[in-house]
Structure 1
């Protein structure tokens, strides 16, 4: 990652080191008067402009069944770069082009090809990752993130050179190191909360190693959401547990929420800290909860989730927009002023698709979306593991499958089309990270 600070052709419409002049932008946002910062309007033009893109391919020496695809992306808290997890290829860090720190792109802007400024080739499946919440490019020691992966402890990585800073290790009853399933920082960034199969373990950021406090839980902690002293813990048993975490790291249970039909994979609090949005595997619903009255969800939003893959969603810093991808490649946007997704659900109304905007951005699964913390930019990632279809490609390996799919597409009968609708068996795979401008579009025709 360069030591920088943050101050097209493809348009989609609904159905060198050193510091730049953008220092003033971050200075305003990071100052004590940051509450006066007005977040720019989003989706007003109902048009998305592709400004940057990147993709990853399989190395020549890799096995044929190795499929690199993006499994998640998250903006850094200062907005200068985006962290990506690539299946079978570790962690990649890409930077936002400098002209997007302050300029407004036009419809004829050239699309930038993103190169990884940091690449960490991690062996094993990365379970979860999280930026340090106080990350600021002006303070190099604050530029880091943590990951937890298969057969490894929690690792903290430097965002400038990709070096390993330290590790945080949890041990089971027989003194064997076990990997965490999920990980997050507390909001002030002084502690790391890690979720395991039977415990929540809290590490002091300043004291790496095996020193931690733990809290016993009844089911594995699959994901976290934090706001102030509140901690929401999602589980593979489809429940969500709410805890109050005091300054000493002690957990006090508030209650449990039930409503999903599959394991909870992602959650996020709204900026006001009153509502919680949750999503689950093989569950087409996003549930909106009021944590003051958590017995039943406030509202239900629909998206396409046909696999066990984690499908990320995001909430804009202004709290007005909720954006989610789906296994159908469509990005859906809910505007709180239009569909009132924050109000109470009428139990007599049937669950319908009340989306405000939807953009068909990818031909494969859109598994992640991330809204920029300062600028009207959204990052989307696509990809999933594609199985060989036993009904059509029994005698073909995956590379040959791509050629056969293009050559024999016109020969397929109507009965065969049922397989084309299943993206897991489709050969039209996509592996990309794309940045889209979602603000005002000048000179829109």
Structure 2
């Protein structure tokens, strides 16, 4: 593989050191030491070649013990905060951790690079449906005690898992009014990583990370907390009733309501703050819009972006650490990218072009639903996941023939269509500069 000279802002990691990618790995020159200036990490530019290069992929298939109704499709993926690995949720297959290849830590890539096959280094077999999951925000592979993630799933408490051996570290339990344990619908860490915020049907519960068990602070809410996002002392709580609630969280784990935002036509499934903390992006199920909110003036959306979401499935989007790029998948399998330098997606709405698709780039990556997008925290790499549940077509019979009374006269097609383009994969894509690309 041809090597490209490294720029001063690129990461410089010795081959014998522990594998981690952090801003502290930025090269320090003699001039910096002499002047006392601290080097600053600069996020690399994305899409300079206006293309994506597949680096590696992984897929999961149905085992012999699984029934015909078992469909192991990907339901989400998230890069670890230090960028060394990616956590993926696979339906009926639990949690999987896959590592980034060592050559991608500092090297660039060429167009003739061989596509690698990803193997899971950690596999946690979850017994129920995983509702939500998140990494510890200060996760660093050089500090093993920080390498962990949280999950909340059906009929189980909030659980913390070790990212080195996949063992269960501890659990955090929430109990309802009749002292029955209930599962959390969403979970996240506070910005400083000292507390765990779990969202339930009628309650927000805050746990101390260092005190597992049932001790927690409670705050009543009027609607189920389907998803959450945090930034500094702000907490945004999305609900299935299409609303978003903003709270200010104090050091004593008390919640002060700031206000509510309305605009989605379906239940809110995913939210994320921009790196500057001034804007919030939200998406909902069966809603083709991404709403951009200015939290200082939250009465109406600041901007509306278009994507394809035709099902109740949660479709993740992501914002680059530099705050210049917004990426999202869709049920049509297309990855859409908004570049703030080309399309100012953080500006106010142009009422004449709300319905138009103003995405900077479109990449038809998957033949099935592209349900998750995760941008690497330090390298120009994007992880995407595909898959969704496919129902059997009721208009066909055992031999696969189409029932004649259920066909149309014009196109001779089935009235109720059930897609047969089933796909289930996790793919890493290179979004940086690719030399000698023809």
TM-score (norm 2): 0.90
1:94 paired to 2:87: no
Q: Deviation at 1:44?
A: 1.3
Q: Deviation at 1:192?
A: 0.2
Pairing partner for 1:385 from 386, 389, 402: 389
In 2, Cα distance between equivalents of 1:340 and 1:309: 28
1:419–1:426 contact (8 Å) kept in structure 2: no
In 2, Cα distance between equivalents of 1:19 and 1:304: 45
Report the counterpart of residue 167 of structure 1 in structure 2.
171
Report the counterpart of residue 219 of structure 2 in structure 1.
215
1:433 paired to 2:410: no
Q: Deviation at 1:347?
A: 3.4
Report the counterpart of residue 130 of structure 1 in structure 2.
134
Report the counterpart of residue 314 of structure 1 in structure 2.
318
Report which of the two has the higher share of helix: 1
Pairing partner for 2:44 from 40, 45, 49: 40
1:301 paired to 2:299: no
Please, what is the CA RMSD of the aligned residues?
A: 2.2
Pairing partner for 1:262 from 260, 266, 289: 266
- Equivalences for residues 174-213 of structure 1 within 5 A: 174-213=178-217
In 1, Cα distance between equivalents of 2:86 and 2:16: 18
2:131–2:152 contact (8 Å) kept in structure 1: yes
Pairing partner for 2:160 from 152, 156, 164: 156
- Structure 1 residues 202 and 33, CA, compared in 2 at 3 Å: closer, same or farther? farther
Equivalent position SS for 2:379: coil
Equivalent position SS for 1:27: helix
Report the counterpart of residue 10 of structure 1 in structure 2.
none
Q: Deviation at 1:418?
A: 6.2
- Structure 1 residues 42 and 121, CA, compared in 2 at 3 Å: closer, same or farther? same
1:357 paired to 2:361: yes
- Structure 1 residues 33 and 131, CA, compared in 2 at 3 Å: closer, same or farther? farther
- Structure 1 residues 290 and 25, CA, compared in 2 at 3 Å: closer, same or farther? closer
- Structure 1 residues 24 and 351, CA, compared in 2 at 3 Å: closer, same or farther? closer
Equivalent position SS for 2:281: strand
Report the counterpart of residue 244 of structure 1 in structure 2.
248
Q: Give the unaligned 5+ runs of structure 1.
A: 8-17, 406-411
Q: Deviation at 1:19?
A: 4.5
Q: Give the unaligned 5+ runs of structure 2.
A: 1-10, 29-35, 403-408
TM-score (norm 1): 0.89
Report the counterpart of residue 416 of structure 1 in structure 2.
413
